[in-house]
Amino acid sequence: MHLIETRELTHVYRGSIRALESVNFIAERKARIAVIGPNGAGKSTLFKHFNGILKPTSGGVLVRGEPITKENLREVRKFVGIVFQNPDDQIISPTVEQDIAFGPINLGLDEETVAHRVEEALRLLGIEDLRERAPHHLSGGEKKRVAIAGILAMEPQVLVLDEPTAGLDPQGVEDLVTFINRLPEDYGMTVIFSTHHLDLVAEMADFIYVMDRGKVMGSGTVEEVFARPELLTRAKLDVPPIPRLIRSLQENGVEIEMAYTYRDAEKAFLDAYMRER
Ligand SMILES: Nc1ncnc2c1ncn2[C@@H]1O[C@H](COP(=O)(O)OP(=O)(O)OP(=O)(O)O)[C@@H](O)[C@H]1O
């Protein structure tokens, strides 16, 4: 049984816009999955099916092997938490603290548990000092952290993030990447995210789905997908700089190991340099 599975999922908005076309998607426990594709590819639409925000036009969505129904919708929402692209859509309360408490209160948790979860979420996102602030007056990056904290406080097993790094400064991106990477190991969570920053994909994901115009054009491990430049070009994407540079060096006769993350590339370059000496 998969944690999340879509079978031939098709979504048509307002009778004419075909946003998803027969999408088959699988997420397992502790997976780190990137969904990449150009604007309008259908990434957000796909995510909105993972916890029943949208209903399939045809095909199906299974969460823990069960279709989403009216009866289990609450449980599904507890299980799959989505952080949307625009944090303003998710902010509802007058203070950050209350905003983060909103989800856990709605789950019917007691006061002590809610307080504990809010503290934990504030600490994990490093936003304790924002607790009394009005969310609407925060910067974009701060709002994003608050939105993530609000979803985490519900302790979902699957965390879905729609472009989590958009609008963050470089330090914010680094902090978020480190934080997200800890979730599968530390909490057994599954993380699914979309991004236009392809250089971050290898840092944050093990598996990639490439989408374009509502369809999955291809999928595979980071190594498999980045070894297929034609697949990325077809989806109007490009191989990220690190593997592209290494591939070019290899083609020019340099003996160097392929790498996808900054750290692996650093090691590959040092090894290649030592070999040459
Ligand atoms: N509420 C809606 N009503 C009608 N059409 C919609 C709606 N939401 C999205 N669409 C259309 O569905 C298609 C897929 O949009 P979606 O937001 O899922 O793409 P995306 O891959 O997330 O794009 P981006 O990278 O720009 O966020 C687009 O053509 C979009 O215009």
CATH number, domain at 57? 3.40.50.300
Q: Is the pLDDT of residue 23 over 80?
A: yes
- What number does the ligand 1 atom closest to the CA of 211 have? 21
CA of 11 to the centre of ligand 1 (A): 11
- To the nearest whole percent, how much of the chain has pLDDT over 90? 82
From the list 172, 226, 166, 170, the residue with the least C-alpha distance to 196 is 166
Q: What is the pLDDT of residue 150?
A: 94
Residues touching ligand 1 (Cβ under 6 Å) are: 13-14, 17, 19, 37, 39-45
Q: How confident is the model at residue 166 (pLDDT cuts 50, 70, 90)?
A: confident
Shared-domain flag, residues 181 and 271: no
When pLDDT is averaged across residues 30-59 and rounded to a whole number, the result is: 96
User: 121 CA to middle of ligand 1, Å?
Assistant: 30
Q: For residue 50, name the pLDDT band (cuts at 50, 70, 90).
A: very high
Shortest-distance atom of ligand 1 to CA 214: 14
Predicted pLDDT at 141: 87
Per the prediction, the chain carries an average pLDDT of: 93
Tell me how far apart the alpha carbons of residues 59 and 10 are, in angstroms, rounded to a whole number.
6
Instruction: Express as a percent the part of the chain with pLDDT over 70.
Output: 100
User: Which tokens hold the place of 51?
Assistant: 């916890």
pLDDT at 171: 87
d(CA 175, CA 125): 9
Range of the domain at 269: 240-277
Lowest mean pLDDT among 58-62, 90-94, 195-199, 269-273: 90-94
**DSSP code per residue over the chain:** --SEEEEEEEEEETTTEEEEEEEEEEE-TT-EEEEE-STTSSHHHHHHHHTTSS--SEEEEEETTEE--TTTHHHHHHHEEEE-SSGGGG--SSSHHHHHHHHHHHTT--HHHHHHHHHHHHHHTT-GGGTTS-GGGS-HHHHHHHHHHHHHTT--SEEEEESTTTT--HHHHHHHHHHHHHHHHHH--EEEEE-S-HHHHHHH-SEEEEEETTEEEEEEEHHHHHT-HHHHHHTT----HHHHHHHHHHHTT-------SHHHHHHHHHHHHHHH-
- Backbone φ and ψ for 212, nearest 5 degrees, come out as -155, 135
Instruction: Tell me, yes or no, whether 37 and 82 share the same domain.
Output: yes
Residues 219 and 273 in one domain: no
Token pair of 45 as six digits: 């639409």
Q: Which tokens belong to 268?
A: 């590959």
Give the range among 25-39, 41-55, 166-180 with minimum mean pLDDT: 166-180
Please list the residues that pair with 210 across neighbouring strands: 36, 218
Residue 238 pLDDT: 86
Nearest residue (by CA) to ligand 1, atom 18, is 42
Banded model confidence at residue 95, pLDDT cuts 50, 70, 90: very high
Q: What is the pTM of this model?
A: 0.93
Q: Which pLDDT band, with edges at 50, 70 and 90, does 231 fall under?
A: very high
The answer on 231 and 254 residing in a single domain is no
Give the pLDDT band of residue 1 (cuts 50, 70, 90). Answer: confident
The answer to whether residues 8 and 104 belong to one domain is yes
Given the CA of residue 38, which atom of ligand 1 is nearest to it? 25
Average pLDDT over residues 145-169: 93
The confidence band for 167, taking pLDDT boundaries of 50, 70 and 90, is confident
Going by pLDDT thresholds of 50, 70 and 90, the confidence category of residue 52 is very high
Residues 270 and 169 in one domain: no
Q: Which atom of ligand 1 is nearest to the CA of 20?
A: 14
Give the residue, 4 or 175, on which the prediction is more confident.
4
Check whether residue 103 and residue 204 sit in a common domain.
yes
Looking at the fold, whether 113 and 216 belong to one and the same domain comes out as yes
Residue given tokens 């993530």 in the structure block: 148
89 and 183 in a common domain: yes
Q: Are residues 218 and 246 in the same domain?
A: no
8 and 27 part of one domain: yes
Number of domains in the chain: 2
Query: How far away, in angstroms, is 132 Cα from ligand 1 center?
Result: 35
The pLDDT of residue 9 is above 90? yes
Is-contact 176 168, C-beta < 8 A?
Answer: yes
Q: What single letter denotes the amino acid at residue 136?
A: H
The pLDDT value recorded for residue 175 is 87
Q: Tens digits of per-residue pLDDT, 202-213?
A: 999 999 999 999
Q: Are residues 136 and 261 in the same domain?
A: no
